[in-house]
A = this chain, B = another copy of it.
Amino acid sequence: MLREAIYHRPKNNWSYAYDRETVHVRLRTKRDDVAQVTLIYGDKYNWHVVGSQSSEMKVFAKDNLFDYWQAAVKPTFRRLKYGFKLQSGKETLWMNEQGIHEKEPENIYIYYEYPFLNPADVFEPPAWVKDAIFYQIFPERFAKGDPAIDPENVETWGGKPTPSNFFGGDLQGVIDHLDHLEKLGINAIYFNPLFEAPTNHKYDTIDYLKVDPHFGTNEKLKELVKECHSRGIKVLLDAVFNHSGGRFPPFLDVKEKGANSRYADWFHVREFPLEVRDGVPTYDAFAFEPHMPKLNTENGEVKEHLLEVARYWIEEIGVDGWRLDVANEVDHQFWRQFRDVVKKANPDAYILGEIWHDSQPWLGGDQFDAVMNYPLTEAMLDYAVRGTRDGRQFADLVGYLNAAYPQQATEASFNLLGSHDTPRLLTLSKGDKRRMKLATAIQFTLSGTPCIYYGDEVGLTGEQDPGCRKCMEWDETKQDQELFRFFAELVKLRKDHRALRDGSFEVLQSEEGSKSLAYAREADGEKFIIALNASKRKATVAIPVEKDTDFQVVLGEG
């Protein structure tokens, strides 16, 4: 057994409370190197009296280099002391906190510890999230309901989107088209920013407590939320707390008064006055964007203001959670306080971080419920759309991600195939609907909540921003109805079968160099086999099944 490959470190994704009774323990070994791993465990205070217990671990994930093993145990007194026994052929090794041993260690003090399963430390995303199917709305471009509040210079609906033009989408428009969403079957909406801001994307907030007047009013949003709730649809808002907009009044004050402004400490100023030198602002900003000054979330007043914002929209307007823009650049301390405030306002609120990379430091139960799963996005696109990743490479990436986070984070993760920040799926697919459907079928049959980017379901196309932010197509004759039916069918399938939401996941076939891929999801006595072929040629997948199994093809095309 390759000793250098064997890895475990208590807590994080390696040993964690899955719920208030159960601890998951994981171990990593070299791929296909170890035949059997046994978890040896007990209570450190009575081990010497009652001895230890053991549990066979199972390989629950694989990536290109490693196997990942897991066992679930329910320690009677919520304390867990544990070690591992590894076997391969005639070789047996024991592993604990002092490393790898060739004999069973007698001293239990050198075993690992999950010291106590305290409920406060259990990472519990809202239960509804793993059953949710999201729909992302870029409000300026979804639907126009109230021409009276159009911005100046509004252009004709359906025109060419530019970084700065307006088409007059608003909240009334969303209310007017909830039937479309209900027909599609989604049960949650993620809105790009709704608060007052000068741009069409509104990531440069002027007033965090006010719906942009071109979208409507706070009351209108409340009406929308109520209407959504009556249809069983949750509403998620975008919290842009990393930076304000350049017209945020405190920022304007610092710009005018410099160090003498009472808001001087609200931002990260390297040097007064606030200006741009050789393209670099004299203050921290999102990227080097002068109109997006980074907020000092360590300042007491800033914290108080933003936390009041977090509370207000949940408690007063009724929204069901927050998507956090540029979440990784804000301090962890702020997010911990944010979570306290949000969960106090509504314990069932969902906190979703925008993080494009490895996110474990935010997924310990003290900060976010989930992150936007961009690594999976890329893998789905590489496999199904770009053809740059084979079945084995795709399965490896899914295995790696499943092992990288606690199971409940995987179940609540936000799985997307495109957004306002990427080219549209159909465009990436070069108009090939089969590739688009392949990717979407994967998205809907993996753990984590899928999100449909507005318009993808009716065949909208568009390159990278601004192309991907074009107006929604409401002329039914111009909508791709066949595509819509495919999306609606997938939505229904997922909603009807728990196996596709939080069922077990097993890779059945994934071979190097092959574009075929098959995996199974199972729960409640139902098993789904998802067999995919990203190649242009026909392929055959052999799936071992038990005799007398009943089969039913629920979705598929040749």
Contacts and interface: CB of A to CB of B under 8 A. Distances in A.
Interface of A: 2-5, 7, 9-12, 30, 45-46, 64-66, 77-79, 97-99, 109, 112-113, 115-116, 118-121, 284, 287-288, 297-298, 328-334, 336, 356-358, 360-361, 366, 375
A336 B366 contact: yes
A361 B65 contact: no
Given A4-B5, A116-B331, 16 more contacts: A10-B358, A10-B361, A11-B360, A12-B12, A78-B284, A98-B375, A115-B329, A116-B328, A116-B329, A118-B297, A118-B298, A118-B329, A119-B298, A119-B331, A120-B298, A333-B366
Residue from A4, A5, A112, A328 having most chain B Cβ neighbours under 10 A: A4
A347 B17 CA distance: 33
Contacts of A112: 357-358
A interface majority secondary structure: loop
Number of copies of this chain that the complex holds: 2
A2 B33 CA distance: 15
A309 B119 CA distance: 23
B284 A77 contact: yes
Q: Which 5 A-B pairs have the closest CB atoms?
A: A118-B331, A4-B5, A115-B328, A45-B287, A116-B329
A7 B65 CA distance: 12
Contacts of A7: 7
Contact of A120 (B11, B79, B333, B375): B333
Nearest to A31: B4
Contacts of A118: 297-298, 329-333
A375 B361 CA distance: 25
B113 A328 contact: yes
A405 to B, nearest CB: 12
A366 B113 CA distance: 20
Contacts of A2: 4
Contacts of A357: 10, 97, 112-113
Contacts of A12: 12, 361
A77 B366 CA distance: 27
Contacts of A334: 120
A130 B11 CA distance: 28
Contacts of A11: 360-361
Contact of A332 (B288, B298, B328, B366): B366
A375 B96 CA distance: 13
A540 to B, nearest CB: 30
A9 B360 contact: yes
A486 B501 CA distance: 67
Contacts of A78: 284
Contacts of A332: 118, 120-121, 366
B331 A121 contact: yes
Contacts of A284: 77-78
Contacts of A79: 329
Given A11-B361, A287-B45, A331-B120, A64 B298 contact: no
A77 B280 CA distance: 10
A242 to B, nearest CB: 9
Contacts of A328: 113, 115-116
Contact of A5 (B5, B77, B298, B330): B5
A332 to B, nearest CB: 5
A530 B247 CA distance: 62
12 contacts: A3-B65, A4-B66, A5-B5, A10-B357, A45-B287, A64-B99, A97-B358, A112-B357, A116-B331, A118-B329, A121-B333, A336-B366
Nearest to A327: B115
Nearest to A288: B45
Nearest to A4: B5
